[in-house]
Structure 1
Protein backbone atom coordinates (compact mmCIF):
# COMPACT_ATOMS: atom_id res chain seq x y z
CA UNK A 1 0.00 0.00 0.00
CA UNK A 2 1.12 3.50 -0.79
CA UNK A 3 1.93 5.81 2.11
CA UNK A 4 0.64 9.38 1.94
CA UNK A 5 3.97 10.71 3.28
CA UNK A 6 5.40 11.78 -0.14
CA UNK A 7 2.23 13.75 -0.86
CA UNK A 8 2.24 15.26 2.62
CA UNK A 9 5.85 16.37 2.29
CA UNK A 10 5.23 17.81 -1.17
CA UNK A 11 2.22 19.75 0.08
CA UNK A 12 4.05 21.13 3.11
CA UNK A 13 7.07 22.19 1.08
CA UNK A 14 5.01 23.66 -1.76
CA UNK A 15 6.33 21.17 -4.32
CA UNK A 16 4.25 20.69 -7.44
CA UNK A 17 1.70 17.92 -7.45
CA UNK A 18 -0.35 16.60 -10.36
CA UNK A 19 -3.46 18.62 -11.12
CA UNK A 20 -6.85 17.39 -9.95
CA UNK A 21 -7.91 16.70 -13.55
CA UNK A 22 -6.39 13.29 -14.21
CA UNK A 23 -7.35 10.18 -16.11
CA UNK A 24 -9.42 7.54 -14.33
CA UNK A 25 -7.15 4.73 -13.13
CA UNK A 26 -7.72 1.63 -10.96
CA UNK A 27 -6.94 1.98 -7.26
CA UNK A 28 -7.63 0.46 -3.84
CA UNK A 29 -7.95 2.79 -0.82
CA UNK A 30 -8.25 1.90 2.87
CA UNK A 31 -10.02 4.12 5.40
CA UNK A 32 -10.55 4.29 9.14
CA UNK A 33 -14.23 4.77 9.96
CA UNK A 34 -15.56 6.76 12.92
CA UNK A 35 -19.14 7.09 14.15
CA UNK A 36 -19.99 9.95 16.49
CA UNK A 37 -16.28 10.58 16.93
CA UNK A 38 -15.56 7.01 18.08
CA UNK A 39 -13.70 4.33 16.10
CA UNK A 40 -16.19 2.10 14.31
CA UNK A 41 -14.12 0.00 11.91
CA UNK A 42 -12.52 0.05 8.48
CA UNK A 43 -13.58 0.67 4.90
CA UNK A 44 -12.17 -0.11 1.48
CA UNK A 45 -12.93 1.82 -1.71
CA UNK A 46 -11.88 0.29 -5.01
CA UNK A 47 -12.10 1.30 -8.67
CA UNK A 48 -11.28 -1.32 -11.31
CA UNK A 49 -12.07 -2.30 -14.92
CA UNK A 50 -14.67 -5.05 -15.28
CA UNK A 51 -15.94 -6.67 -18.48
CA UNK A 52 -15.31 -3.67 -20.69
CA UNK A 53 -16.77 -1.30 -18.11
CA UNK A 54 -15.61 0.18 -14.80
CA UNK A 55 -16.73 -0.63 -11.27
CA UNK A 56 -16.47 1.25 -7.98
CA UNK A 57 -17.01 -0.54 -4.64
CA UNK A 58 -17.23 0.72 -1.06
CA UNK A 59 -17.10 -1.87 1.72
CA UNK A 60 -17.60 -0.65 5.33
CA UNK A 61 -16.99 -3.08 8.21
CA UNK A 62 -17.92 -2.34 11.84
CA UNK A 63 -15.36 -3.80 14.23
CA UNK A 64 -15.82 -1.83 17.46
CA UNK A 65 -18.63 -1.17 19.93
CA UNK A 66 -22.13 -2.62 19.70
CA UNK A 67 -22.20 -2.40 15.91
CA UNK A 68 -19.01 -4.44 15.81
CA UNK A 69 -20.57 -7.09 18.03
CA UNK A 70 -23.51 -7.41 15.64
CA UNK A 71 -21.20 -7.87 12.66
CA UNK A 72 -22.69 -4.85 10.91
CA UNK A 73 -21.39 -4.23 7.40
CA UNK A 74 -22.43 -2.30 4.31
CA UNK A 75 -21.34 -2.72 0.69
CA UNK A 76 -22.11 -0.45 -2.25
CA UNK A 77 -21.16 -1.06 -5.85
CA UNK A 78 -21.76 0.81 -9.12
CA UNK A 79 -20.90 -0.55 -12.56
CA UNK A 80 -20.29 2.35 -14.93
CA UNK A 81 -18.88 3.54 -18.25
CA UNK A 82 -16.54 6.41 -18.92
CA UNK A 83 -18.18 8.46 -21.70
CA UNK A 84 -15.83 11.30 -22.52
CA UNK A 85 -15.30 12.79 -19.06
CA UNK A 86 -18.69 11.58 -17.80
CA UNK A 87 -19.12 8.71 -15.34
CA UNK A 88 -22.28 6.98 -16.60
CA UNK A 89 -23.81 4.43 -14.14
CA UNK A 90 -25.11 1.14 -15.55
CA UNK A 91 -26.15 -0.82 -12.46
CA UNK A 92 -25.99 -0.60 -8.69
CA UNK A 93 -26.00 -3.01 -5.76
CA UNK A 94 -26.28 -2.24 -2.04
CA UNK A 95 -25.99 -4.84 0.73
CA UNK A 96 -26.49 -4.19 4.46
CA UNK A 97 -25.84 -6.86 7.11
CA UNK A 98 -26.70 -6.83 10.83
CA UNK A 99 -26.67 -10.01 12.93
CA UNK A 100 -28.68 -12.57 10.94
CA UNK A 101 -30.44 -10.08 8.66
CA UNK A 102 -29.35 -9.08 5.18
CA UNK A 103 -30.90 -6.42 2.97
CA UNK A 104 -30.13 -6.22 -0.75
CA UNK A 105 -31.11 -3.47 -3.18
CA UNK A 106 -30.29 -3.61 -6.90
CA UNK A 107 -30.79 -0.95 -9.54
CA UNK A 108 -30.48 -0.62 -13.31
CA UNK A 109 -29.73 2.54 -15.29
CA UNK A 110 -31.24 1.97 -18.74
CA UNK A 111 -29.77 4.68 -20.97
CA UNK A 112 -31.61 3.41 -24.07
CA UNK A 113 -34.89 4.18 -22.30
CA UNK A 114 -33.42 6.95 -20.11
CA UNK A 115 -34.91 5.38 -16.98
CA UNK A 116 -33.53 3.96 -13.73
CA UNK A 117 -35.33 1.55 -11.41
CA UNK A 118 -34.58 -0.36 -8.18
CA UNK A 119 -35.80 -3.64 -6.73
CA UNK A 120 -35.25 -5.65 -3.55
CA UNK A 121 -35.43 -4.48 0.07
CA UNK A 122 -36.53 -0.94 -0.74
CA UNK A 123 -39.64 1.08 0.06
CA UNK A 124 -42.49 0.75 -2.42
CA UNK A 125 -42.46 4.40 -3.50
CA UNK A 126 -38.77 4.14 -4.38
CA UNK A 127 -39.38 1.30 -6.82
CA UNK A 128 -40.94 3.63 -9.37
CA UNK A 129 -38.83 4.40 -12.47
CA UNK A 130 -36.86 7.66 -12.47
CA UNK A 131 -36.34 9.54 -15.73
CA UNK A 132 -32.61 9.88 -16.41
CA UNK A 133 -30.76 12.92 -17.70
CA UNK A 134 -27.26 12.91 -19.18
CA UNK A 135 -24.77 13.35 -16.36
CA UNK A 136 -26.83 11.61 -13.65
CA UNK A 137 -24.67 9.66 -11.20
CA UNK A 138 -24.83 7.43 -8.13
CA UNK A 139 -23.43 8.68 -4.82
CA UNK A 140 -20.17 6.77 -5.25
CA UNK A 141 -19.63 8.26 -8.71
CA UNK A 142 -20.30 11.76 -7.39
CA UNK A 143 -17.45 11.23 -4.91
CA UNK A 144 -15.15 10.41 -7.84
CA UNK A 145 -16.42 13.43 -9.78
CA UNK A 146 -15.74 15.76 -6.84
CA UNK A 147 -12.12 14.54 -6.70
CA UNK A 148 -11.79 15.11 -10.45
CA UNK A 149 -13.51 18.51 -10.57
CA UNK A 150 -12.51 20.27 -7.33
CA UNK A 151 -10.68 23.58 -7.71
CA UNK A 152 -10.45 26.34 -5.07
CA UNK A 153 -13.55 28.54 -5.10
CA UNK A 154 -15.41 26.44 -7.68
CA UNK A 155 -19.10 25.45 -7.50
CA UNK A 156 -19.91 21.87 -8.54
CA UNK A 157 -23.39 20.76 -9.63
CA UNK A 158 -24.52 17.14 -10.07
CA UNK A 159 -27.76 15.12 -10.14
CA UNK A 160 -27.82 12.29 -7.58
CA UNK A 161 -29.88 9.30 -8.80
CA UNK A 162 -29.39 6.50 -6.30
CA UNK A 163 -31.54 3.88 -4.50
CA UNK A 164 -34.80 5.20 -5.91
CA UNK A 165 -34.00 8.82 -5.03
CA UNK A 166 -33.39 11.88 -7.19
CA UNK A 167 -31.75 14.96 -5.72
CA UNK A 168 -29.74 17.91 -7.04
CA UNK A 169 -26.33 18.03 -5.37
CA UNK A 170 -24.36 21.27 -5.25
CA UNK A 171 -20.91 21.52 -3.70
CA UNK A 172 -18.77 24.56 -2.91
CA UNK A 173 -14.99 24.21 -2.88
CA UNK A 174 -13.28 26.34 -0.24
CA UNK A 175 -11.08 29.11 -1.56
CA UNK A 176 -8.27 28.28 0.88
CA UNK A 177 -6.59 24.98 1.71
CA UNK A 178 -6.92 23.59 5.22
CA UNK A 179 -5.08 21.07 7.35
CA UNK A 180 -6.29 17.47 7.52
CA UNK A 181 -4.76 14.88 9.86
CA UNK A 182 -3.76 11.40 8.73
CA UNK A 183 -2.65 9.43 11.79
CA UNK A 184 -0.07 11.75 13.40
CA UNK A 185 0.59 13.83 10.28
CA UNK A 186 -1.20 16.82 8.77
CA UNK A 187 -1.32 18.11 5.22
CA UNK A 188 -3.23 20.67 3.15
CA UNK A 189 -6.43 19.75 1.31
CA UNK A 190 -9.36 21.33 -0.49
CA UNK A 191 -12.54 21.13 1.55
CA UNK A 192 -15.69 20.60 -0.53
CA UNK A 193 -19.01 21.20 1.24
CA UNK A 194 -22.35 20.05 -0.05
CA UNK A 195 -24.89 22.86 -0.09
CA UNK A 196 -28.24 21.60 1.10
CA UNK A 197 -31.18 22.35 3.34
CA UNK A 198 -32.28 20.30 6.30
CA UNK A 199 -30.26 18.76 9.09
CA UNK A 200 -27.67 16.86 7.00
CA UNK A 201 -24.17 18.01 6.04
CA UNK A 202 -21.51 16.39 3.86
CA UNK A 203 -17.88 17.48 3.52
CA UNK A 204 -15.24 15.90 1.27
CA UNK A 205 -11.52 16.68 1.45
CA UNK A 206 -9.46 16.39 -1.75
CA UNK A 207 -5.69 16.42 -2.27
CA UNK A 208 -4.20 16.90 -5.73
CA UNK A 209 -2.70 13.66 -7.00
CA UNK A 210 -4.81 11.37 -4.75
CA UNK A 211 -7.56 9.64 -6.82
CA UNK A 212 -9.95 9.22 -3.88
CA UNK A 213 -11.23 11.54 -1.12
CA UNK A 214 -8.81 11.74 1.81
CA UNK A 215 -11.77 12.29 4.15
CA UNK A 216 -15.56 12.06 3.89
CA UNK A 217 -17.60 13.45 6.80
CA UNK A 218 -21.37 13.21 7.22
CA UNK A 219 -23.18 15.13 9.97
CA UNK A 220 -26.76 15.26 11.19
CA UNK A 221 -28.18 17.92 13.52
CA UNK A 222 -24.68 19.34 13.98
CA UNK A 223 -23.23 16.02 15.17
CA UNK A 224 -20.72 13.82 13.36
CA UNK A 225 -22.23 10.56 12.12
CA UNK A 226 -19.94 8.77 9.65
CA UNK A 227 -16.36 9.93 9.17
CA UNK A 228 -14.06 8.09 6.72
CA UNK A 229 -10.35 9.01 6.89
CA UNK A 230 -7.90 7.74 4.31
CA UNK A 231 -5.01 5.69 5.67
CA UNK A 232 -3.35 4.35 2.50
CA UNK A 233 -3.98 3.54 -1.15
CA UNK A 234 -2.37 1.83 -4.10
CA UNK A 235 -2.73 1.82 -7.87
CA UNK A 236 -3.32 -1.31 -9.91
CA UNK A 237 0.41 -1.73 -10.43
CA UNK A 238 1.10 -1.29 -6.72
CA UNK A 239 2.71 2.14 -7.21
Structure 2
Protein backbone atom coordinates (compact mmCIF):
# COMPACT_ATOMS: atom_id res chain seq x y z
CA UNK A 1 0.00 0.00 0.00
CA UNK A 2 2.83 2.44 0.81
CA UNK A 3 4.20 2.16 -2.70
CA UNK A 4 1.02 3.80 -3.98
CA UNK A 5 1.00 6.56 -1.38
CA UNK A 6 4.44 7.87 -2.27
CA UNK A 7 3.70 8.86 -5.91
CA UNK A 8 0.32 10.21 -4.89
CA UNK A 9 1.92 12.52 -2.35
CA UNK A 10 4.19 13.79 -5.11
CA UNK A 11 1.18 14.27 -7.38
CA UNK A 12 -0.55 16.17 -4.61
CA UNK A 13 2.39 18.53 -4.50
CA UNK A 14 1.99 18.90 -8.25
CA UNK A 15 4.86 20.82 -9.70
CA UNK A 16 5.75 22.35 -6.39
CA UNK A 17 8.11 19.95 -4.70
CA UNK A 18 11.35 21.81 -4.07
CA UNK A 19 10.73 24.54 -6.64
CA UNK A 20 11.52 28.15 -5.67
CA UNK A 21 12.70 31.53 -7.00
CA UNK A 22 13.25 35.23 -6.40
CA UNK A 23 10.78 36.18 -9.15
CA UNK A 24 11.21 39.93 -9.62
CA UNK A 25 8.45 40.55 -12.17
CA UNK A 26 9.13 42.79 -15.12
CA UNK A 27 5.52 42.70 -16.30
CA UNK A 28 2.04 41.95 -15.03
CA UNK A 29 0.92 38.30 -14.91
CA UNK A 30 -1.24 36.83 -17.66
CA UNK A 31 -4.00 34.26 -17.16
CA UNK A 32 -3.41 30.77 -18.57
CA UNK A 33 -4.32 27.08 -18.47
CA UNK A 34 -1.57 24.45 -18.80
CA UNK A 35 -2.10 20.67 -18.96
CA UNK A 36 0.51 18.03 -18.12
CA UNK A 37 0.91 14.30 -18.52
CA UNK A 38 2.14 12.64 -15.31
CA UNK A 39 4.28 9.53 -15.68
CA UNK A 40 5.85 7.08 -13.24
CA UNK A 41 8.57 4.82 -14.54
CA UNK A 42 7.57 5.82 -18.08
CA UNK A 43 3.90 4.86 -17.59
CA UNK A 44 1.14 7.49 -17.66
CA UNK A 45 -0.64 7.62 -14.28
CA UNK A 46 -2.34 11.02 -14.23
CA UNK A 47 -2.97 14.48 -15.63
CA UNK A 48 -2.28 17.83 -13.98
CA UNK A 49 -3.99 21.10 -14.91
CA UNK A 50 -2.53 24.43 -13.83
CA UNK A 51 -4.57 27.63 -14.08
CA UNK A 52 -3.86 31.28 -13.29
CA UNK A 53 -6.76 33.73 -13.04
CA UNK A 54 -7.24 37.29 -11.77
CA UNK A 55 -9.57 37.76 -8.80
CA UNK A 56 -10.49 41.04 -7.12
CA UNK A 57 -7.27 42.82 -8.05
CA UNK A 58 -5.14 39.84 -7.00
CA UNK A 59 -4.51 36.36 -8.47
CA UNK A 60 -5.49 32.72 -7.97
CA UNK A 61 -3.20 29.87 -9.05
CA UNK A 62 -4.64 26.34 -9.02
CA UNK A 63 -3.05 22.92 -9.52
CA UNK A 64 -5.57 20.11 -10.07
CA UNK A 65 -4.34 16.51 -10.41
CA UNK A 66 -6.49 13.57 -11.51
CA UNK A 67 -5.18 10.00 -11.50
CA UNK A 68 -5.73 8.05 -14.72
CA UNK A 69 -3.85 4.79 -14.10
CA UNK A 70 -3.06 2.16 -11.50
CA UNK A 71 -4.61 1.73 -8.06
CA UNK A 72 -4.86 5.50 -7.53
CA UNK A 73 -7.18 5.79 -10.54
CA UNK A 74 -9.27 2.84 -9.35
CA UNK A 75 -9.77 4.66 -6.05
CA UNK A 76 -10.61 7.94 -7.77
CA UNK A 77 -7.56 9.65 -6.26
CA UNK A 78 -7.19 13.37 -6.90
CA UNK A 79 -5.75 16.52 -5.41
CA UNK A 80 -6.30 20.25 -5.70
CA UNK A 81 -4.01 23.05 -4.49
CA UNK A 82 -5.03 26.70 -4.68
CA UNK A 83 -2.88 29.75 -3.96
CA UNK A 84 -4.27 33.25 -3.61
CA UNK A 85 -1.57 35.88 -3.97
CA UNK A 86 -0.84 39.51 -4.62
CA UNK A 87 1.98 41.27 -6.42
CA UNK A 88 4.11 43.07 -3.79
CA UNK A 89 7.19 45.05 -4.78
CA UNK A 90 7.10 43.44 -8.21
CA UNK A 91 6.98 39.84 -6.92
CA UNK A 92 4.31 37.29 -5.90
CA UNK A 93 3.39 37.08 -2.21
CA UNK A 94 1.03 34.44 -0.83
CA UNK A 95 -2.14 35.54 0.97
CA UNK A 96 -3.78 32.10 1.34
CA UNK A 97 -3.20 28.48 0.35
CA UNK A 98 -5.57 25.49 0.36
CA UNK A 99 -4.85 21.83 -0.33
CA UNK A 100 -7.21 18.86 -0.57
CA UNK A 101 -5.96 15.34 -1.31
CA UNK A 102 -8.42 12.48 -1.86
CA UNK A 103 -6.60 9.14 -1.65
CA UNK A 104 -7.38 6.35 0.79
CA UNK A 105 -8.53 9.18 3.07
CA UNK A 106 -9.03 12.91 2.61
CA UNK A 107 -6.36 15.32 3.83
CA UNK A 108 -6.74 19.09 3.87
CA UNK A 109 -4.54 22.06 4.72
CA UNK A 110 -5.60 25.70 4.99
CA UNK A 111 -2.97 28.43 5.27
CA UNK A 112 -3.46 32.17 5.68
CA UNK A 113 -0.92 34.98 5.87
CA UNK A 114 -1.90 38.24 7.57
CA UNK A 115 -0.67 41.79 6.96
CA UNK A 116 2.21 41.25 9.42
CA UNK A 117 3.31 38.06 7.58
CA UNK A 118 2.06 35.82 10.40
CA UNK A 119 1.34 32.35 8.99
CA UNK A 120 -1.60 30.28 10.29
CA UNK A 121 -1.80 26.59 9.32
CA UNK A 122 -4.85 24.40 9.96
CA UNK A 123 -5.07 20.72 8.95
CA UNK A 124 -8.32 20.08 10.77
CA UNK A 125 -6.84 19.55 14.24
CA UNK A 126 -6.68 23.19 15.27
CA UNK A 127 -4.57 26.06 13.91
CA UNK A 128 -0.88 26.68 14.57
CA UNK A 129 1.07 29.84 13.76
CA UNK A 130 4.59 30.96 13.02
CA UNK A 131 6.34 34.13 11.88
CA UNK A 132 6.68 34.57 8.13
CA UNK A 133 8.58 37.13 6.07
CA UNK A 134 7.81 39.61 3.32
CA UNK A 135 7.87 38.16 -0.19
CA UNK A 136 7.03 34.66 1.04
CA UNK A 137 5.23 32.18 -1.21
CA UNK A 138 3.66 28.77 -0.57
CA UNK A 139 4.79 25.48 -2.09
CA UNK A 140 2.13 25.56 -4.79
CA UNK A 141 3.07 29.03 -6.02
CA UNK A 142 6.81 28.40 -6.34
CA UNK A 143 6.90 26.87 -9.87
CA UNK A 144 5.14 29.93 -11.25
CA UNK A 145 7.50 32.21 -9.35
CA UNK A 146 10.54 30.44 -10.75
CA UNK A 147 9.24 30.87 -14.29
CA UNK A 148 8.85 34.61 -13.79
CA UNK A 149 12.34 34.82 -12.27
CA UNK A 150 13.86 33.04 -15.27
CA UNK A 151 11.93 35.29 -17.64
CA UNK A 152 13.56 38.25 -15.94
CA UNK A 153 17.03 36.80 -16.48
CA UNK A 154 17.69 35.22 -13.07
CA UNK A 155 20.27 32.42 -13.06
CA UNK A 156 20.61 31.88 -9.31
CA UNK A 157 17.26 31.79 -7.54
CA UNK A 158 16.28 32.06 -3.87
CA UNK A 159 12.88 32.28 -2.23
CA UNK A 160 11.31 32.05 1.24
CA UNK A 161 8.69 29.30 1.09
CA UNK A 162 6.01 28.81 3.77
CA UNK A 163 5.92 25.11 4.62
CA UNK A 164 4.08 23.34 7.45
CA UNK A 165 5.93 24.69 10.49
CA UNK A 166 8.40 27.30 9.27
CA UNK A 167 9.79 29.35 6.41
CA UNK A 168 12.21 27.38 4.24
CA UNK A 169 14.76 29.31 2.20
CA UNK A 170 15.10 27.31 -1.00
CA UNK A 171 17.92 27.76 -3.52
CA UNK A 172 17.97 26.95 -7.23
CA UNK A 173 20.21 27.61 -10.21
CA UNK A 174 20.17 27.28 -13.99
CA UNK A 175 22.46 24.30 -14.60
CA UNK A 176 22.41 24.22 -18.41
CA UNK A 177 20.33 24.11 -21.58
CA UNK A 178 18.86 20.94 -23.10
CA UNK A 179 16.73 19.91 -26.05
CA UNK A 180 13.45 18.64 -24.57
CA UNK A 181 10.73 16.67 -26.36
CA UNK A 182 7.27 16.66 -24.71
CA UNK A 183 3.72 16.24 -26.07
CA UNK A 184 3.49 20.02 -26.53
CA UNK A 185 6.52 20.03 -28.85
CA UNK A 186 10.31 20.21 -28.98
CA UNK A 187 12.06 22.96 -27.03
CA UNK A 188 15.49 24.33 -26.20
CA UNK A 189 14.97 24.67 -22.46
CA UNK A 190 16.82 25.93 -19.39
CA UNK A 191 17.43 23.16 -16.87
CA UNK A 192 16.91 24.24 -13.26
CA UNK A 193 18.23 22.22 -10.31
CA UNK A 194 17.82 22.70 -6.58
CA UNK A 195 21.10 23.36 -4.72
CA UNK A 196 20.14 23.46 -1.02
CA UNK A 197 19.38 19.73 -0.66
CA UNK A 198 20.38 16.43 -2.27
CA UNK A 199 17.01 15.39 -3.70
CA UNK A 200 17.21 14.37 -7.35
CA UNK A 201 15.19 17.06 -9.11
CA UNK A 202 15.28 18.84 -12.47
CA UNK A 203 12.84 21.18 -14.20
CA UNK A 204 13.06 22.51 -17.75
CA UNK A 205 11.72 25.97 -18.58
CA UNK A 206 11.28 28.02 -21.74
CA UNK A 207 10.81 31.27 -19.80
CA UNK A 208 10.21 33.63 -22.72
CA UNK A 209 7.39 31.37 -23.92
CA UNK A 210 5.83 29.77 -20.81
CA UNK A 211 5.82 30.80 -17.11
CA UNK A 212 5.72 27.15 -15.97
CA UNK A 213 8.05 24.23 -16.85
CA UNK A 214 7.68 22.18 -20.01
CA UNK A 215 9.07 19.19 -18.12
CA UNK A 216 9.80 18.21 -14.51
CA UNK A 217 11.60 15.09 -13.27
CA UNK A 218 11.61 14.01 -9.61
CA UNK A 219 13.31 10.71 -8.84
CA UNK A 220 13.04 11.09 -5.06
CA UNK A 221 9.72 9.67 -3.85
CA UNK A 222 8.39 7.92 -6.93
CA UNK A 223 10.40 8.49 -10.14
CA UNK A 224 7.82 10.92 -11.52
CA UNK A 225 7.97 12.96 -14.71
CA UNK A 226 5.55 15.70 -15.77
CA UNK A 227 5.40 16.72 -19.43
CA UNK A 228 3.56 19.67 -20.91
CA UNK A 229 0.64 18.69 -23.16
CA UNK A 230 -0.81 22.12 -23.94
CA UNK A 231 -0.70 25.74 -22.87
CA UNK A 232 -3.44 28.27 -23.51
CA UNK A 233 -3.33 31.92 -22.55
CA UNK A 234 -6.51 33.73 -21.65
CA UNK A 235 -7.95 36.81 -20.01
Q: What does residue 217 of structure 1 align with?
A: 217
* Match runs of 1:87-236 below 5 Å: 87-99=92-104, 101-111=105-115, 113-121=116-124, 128-150=128-150, 154-174=155-175, 176-183=176-183, 185-198=185-198, 200-207=199-206, 208-220=208-220, 225-236=223-234
- Partner Cα separation in structure 2 for residue 51 and residue 110 of structure 1: 17
TM-score for both structures, normalised by structure 1: 0.79
- Partner Cα separation in structure 2 for residue 92 and residue 57 of structure 1: 10
Contact conserved, 2:132 with 2:167, CA < 8 A, in 1? no
Contact conserved, 1:137 with 1:162, CA < 8 A, in 2? no
Range moving further from structure 2, 183-192 or 145-154: 145-154
- Partner Cα separation in structure 2 for residue 155 and residue 128 of structure 1: 33
What does the per-residue CA deviation read over 1:69-97, in whole Å, with 9 as the maximum and x for residues that have no partner?
A: 11111111110001232101111100000
Shift of residue 235 of structure 1? 1.0
Larger Rg: 1
RMSD: 2.3
Contact conserved, 2:64 with 2:81, CA < 8 A, in 1? yes
TM-score for both structures, normalised by structure 2: 0.80
